[in-house]
Amino acid sequence: MSNSSPYLRARSPEQKEERRRHLLDTAKSLLLEIPDVHDLGINELARQAQMTKSNVYRYFESSEAVLLDVLVEEFMLWRAELRKALSRGGKRSGTIEHIARAFSATVAARPLLCRLTSIFPSILEHNVSAERMVQFKQGLLAVRKETALDFHGCIPSIPASTFEGFIHLALPLLIGLWPLSHPAEAAAEAIARHDLAALRYDFQHNLEEGLLMLLRGLPSE
């Protein structure tokens, strides 16, 4: 599409949302190709979306704002997958082991979610407006509350508020484990040594273990 197309000149709310959707879809496609999310800049996003840089800034104030919106969508998609996984538990659906397994497996299945989550406190929460940050935090809180209700549905003896506390502590576990289990080349070569094997991390396995530790410490009332 060219910069002079009717699509770019659109003014209706529907067409504006179409542009925003186009930018987010383009960003997601780029993120699947580039190894480092820091490489996603406004210039490259505008080029790939076939829009001008000024047009992109009408919808997103920075590349971090783009990534925050992608992260919110990833959280929503993950929650839908988690609900399906929780419902497939059979006789084990009412156990903390099932919750930990479903949580870790569905998170690990979304590497883009993991990549963005691991950097949102240190990178993505910078260079965005206070208003946008409030929106992001409200979305994050909504996902947490809804997920806690899903867990409460699996184990009614544990209040949803308690599961909210569990998710609150599970998030930093996820943030830390992803980069530790995906180290830089030099670090990966180092821990490949037999004498340093104890420093290796397996993301899904260690996340499930950590979640179980948190769950086992939850009060039942």
Domain positions in the chain = 1-60, 62-216
Q: Using pLDDT thresholds of 50, 70 and 90, give the confidence band for residue 1.
A: very low
When the pLDDT of each residue in the chain is averaged and rounded to a whole number, the result is 90
* pLDDT, mean of residues 151-172: 95
CA distances (Å), 176 to each of 11, 13, 37, 134, 207, in order? 43, 40, 17, 24, 10
Least confident span in 15-29, 86-100, 144-158 = 86-100
CA–CA separation, 74 and 69 (whole Å): 9
CA–CA separation, 37 and 74 (whole Å): 15
Is the CA virtual torsion 194, 196, 198, 201 positive or negative? Answer: negative
Give the pLDDT score at 13.
83
CA–CA separation, 148 and 153 (whole Å): 9
Q: Using pLDDT thresholds of 50, 70 and 90, give the confidence band for residue 218.
A: confident
Give the pLDDT score at 39.
81
Give the pLDDT score at 205.
98
Q: Using pLDDT thresholds of 50, 70 and 90, give the confidence band for residue 7.
A: very low
Does domain 1-60 correspond to CATH entry 3.10.20.30? no
For residue 180, give both structure tokens.
Answer: 């530790």
Give the pLDDT score at 172.
96
Q: Is the model's pLDDT at 31 over the cut of 80?
A: yes
* pLDDT, mean of residues 167-180: 96
Tell me what percent of the residues of the chain surpass a pLDDT of 70: 93
The DSSP element (H or E) to which 62 belongs, if any, is none
SS3 157: coil
CA distances (Å), 94 to each of 58, 101, 102, 158, 217, in order? 47, 12, 12, 11, 16
Which has the higher per-residue pLDDT, 92 or 160?
160
Q: Using pLDDT thresholds of 50, 70 and 90, give the confidence band for residue 91.
A: low
What pTM was estimated for this model as a whole?
Answer: 0.87
Does domain 62-216 correspond to CATH entry 1.10.357.10? yes
CA–CA separation, 3 and 194 (whole Å): 56
